[in-house]
Amino acid sequence: MFDLNRSRITRGHVLELLPLMGLRPEQEEQLLALPYPVDFDAAAAAFEAVGVDLDTLMDRMGGSP
């Protein structure tokens, strides 16, 4: 099983996810402002801060909760 919690998330990963999330431009800017690469936990917290729950994020990233 792939463990996303141990992954480093890059700006490229986030750019690939953005079209799938249906976020507003200001939400996308908030996510892209992170100091990449970041730990999965930091990325998950940033996505949750813009309204994307952890289950949705894991699903879009190809993991299993």
* CA 6/CA 25 separation, integer angstroms: 28
Domain spans in the chain, listed from the N-terminal domain onward: 4-61
Q: Find the mean pLDDT for residues 24-51.
A: 95
Q: Find the mean pLDDT for residues 43-64.
A: 83
The pLDDT assigned to 2 comes to 47
pLDDT-derived band at 56 (thresholds 50, 70, 90) equals confident
**21-54 burial string, b = 16+ CB within 10 Å, else e?**
bebeeebbeebeeeeeebebeebbebbeeeebee
* CA 42/CA 12 separation, integer angstroms: 15
pLDDT-derived band at 1 (thresholds 50, 70, 90) equals very low
* CA 29/CA 12 separation, integer angstroms: 14
